[in-house]
Amino acid sequence: MQLGNFSYIKSIFLENKTTKQIIFKNAFWIALAIGISKLLKLALIIYIARALGATEYGKFTFALAFISLFVVFQNLGLPNIITREFAREKDKEEEFYSLLSLKILLGFATLILILISSFLITSSPDILKIIWILAIFSLISNFSVIVYAFFRARQKMEYESWATILEALIAVGVGFFIIFNFPSITNISYGYLFSAVASLAFVLVIFHFKVFPLKINWQRSVWRKFLIISWPLALASLFGTIYVYIDSVMMGYLGQITQTGWYNAASKVALFTTVPVAIITASFFPLLSKFFKESKEKLQDICDYYLELMVLMALPLVVGGIVLAPKIIEFIYGRDFFPSILAFQILIMMAGIIFFSKPLVQILIATNQQKKVFWTTVFGAAVNVILNLILIPRFSLYGAAIATVVTYLLVLLLILIFIYKFTPIRILNLKLFLNFSIVGFSSATMYFVISRPRIYDLNLFLSALIGVMVYLFVFGMAKIILSRFVPRQIYG
């Protein structure tokens, strides 16, 4: 019996069988990895901010944002293309050896570019040193991304999960050790570097012995073939990175280091709430790619299900975040970070938009419309840079937050236009509208309840729990009532 139970559990979590089982298995492992990793790293970041203050934390986040502008040159859009191509045709996997060599060359070229560019962005010796350490960290940690892409093509997310958790455990363990014994942002950067080295070693060992024997080829024809396919995603990622990180870089360049700390304190928490997006996207993308080739009907069904999940989570998140923002910031960072409250209330709307835009981007990529993704990010980067140049000098971190939300909203609208014109998917249908209406009504009811003084003045977690319970109760009742008037295949 025990052996039978073990076999059953193994078949659910370690094998690929039915479509629903694969989605569940992938979601489980990605959820476990991202959930544990993000939570542990957020705890470390929060403690760093509280222990070292907004200014020192601002130096760290400024350096990290600057480096992030260059990460695209290490990937050039390859990970999603590798997952897509190898998920469709397994006989192409021998080409992966040449992609490893390409990744090595891109990594070292990017490292040199960061080192040279760092002298143009700051003259502070402390910040320069942090940039150089984190640049090496980025080179090493980003190499795992291409391996994870192969895992996803094989539907072996469990290996990615184990590696991600290991890196988080090492980073947090070393980070807290440093904070307690050798507190400085420079030493924290060394801790990040050490965790990346350990994690990459684990990933390569697992990959070599469990998935695909490691070796390096240097076939330029493979490089050329994949880069021709991936260049729109590479440029899209470049411009997308610009409108994600350029605000922190601009504030740091203008000498607003403390404000950068406040802004990123709010941003980290807001972005943490989008963890479900990454989990669900990682689970759905291989299937989107597969069904686009096999069945347009299945593709539409899975897209509907995908977006319904996003709607279900996004609206209550935004409403609850805006209402409880003062309590959230005080609980996490303390009163020294009160300037982060308004920034968080603005940025939580960005998080809500991500819940909608990320799945739509994946749909464009899965349907071979990656060039459209490129144009949306070019548009977003241009809008964001212009808005930041106007708003940051006048409103500092709040101007940066407004620029971010407006950019994400305009990009979402452009993506919807491209989905409608260039894919077989119909996003705006009656089913989605009805679910959106139910979620909107449930979220409005939740807002009314948790904004009452008697509920709001309770412990943060108790207030949030009451809000969740009210939302789920109203949502469930509304679905039951609606089922009496609308066929289940439409509203369900």
- Do 71 and 116 share a domain, yes or no? yes
- Which residues, other chains included, contact 305 with Cβ-Cβ below 8 Å and sequence gap of 6+? none
- Do 399 and 480 share a domain, yes or no? no
The CA dihedral of 175, 179, 184, 189, to the nearest 10 degrees, is 0
Please give the pLDDT value at position 1: 42
Q: Which helix (H) or strand (E) holds 246?
A: helix 220-253
* 1 assigned to some structural domain: no
* 414 assigned to some structural domain: yes
* C-alpha to C-alpha distance for 271 and 275, rounded to whole angstroms: 7
Of the chain, the end-to-end C-alpha distance in Å amounts to 37
Q: How many domains does the chain have?
A: 2
Which domain does 128 fall in, by range? 23-428
- Do 49 and 81 share a domain, yes or no? yes
- Do 351 and 444 share a domain, yes or no? no
What is the 8-class DSSP label of residue 486? S
Whole-model pTM? Answer: 0.73
Q: Of 403, 428, 453, which marks where a domain is finished?
A: 428
- Which residues, other chains included, contact 396 with Cβ-Cβ below 8 Å and sequence gap of 6+? 251, 256, 259
- Per-residue pLDDT tens digits of the chain, which is 492 residues long: 454 555 655 555 555 556 556 666 666 777 777 777 778 877 888 888 888 888 888 888 888 888 888 877 777 777 767 776 666 666 666 677 777 788 888 888 888 888 888 888 888 888 889 899 988 888 888 777 777 777 776 666 667 777 778 778 888 888 888 888 888 888 888 888 888 888 788 778 877 777 677 777 777 777 777 777 777 767 777 777 777 788 888 888 888 888 888 998 898 889 888 877 777 776 676 667 666 666 667 777 777 777 788 888 888 999 999 999 999 998 888 888 889 999 999 999 999 999 888 888 878 877 777 778 778 888 888 899 999 999 999 999 899 999 999 999 999 999 888 888 887 777 777 777 788 888 889 999 999 999 999 999 888 889 999 999 999 999 888 888 877 766 655 555
- Do 405 and 459 share a domain, yes or no? no
Please give the pLDDT value at position 450: 93
- Which residues, other chains included, contact 478 with Cβ-Cβ below 8 Å and sequence gap of 6+? 438, 441, 442
Phi, psi of 161 (to 5 degrees): -60, -50
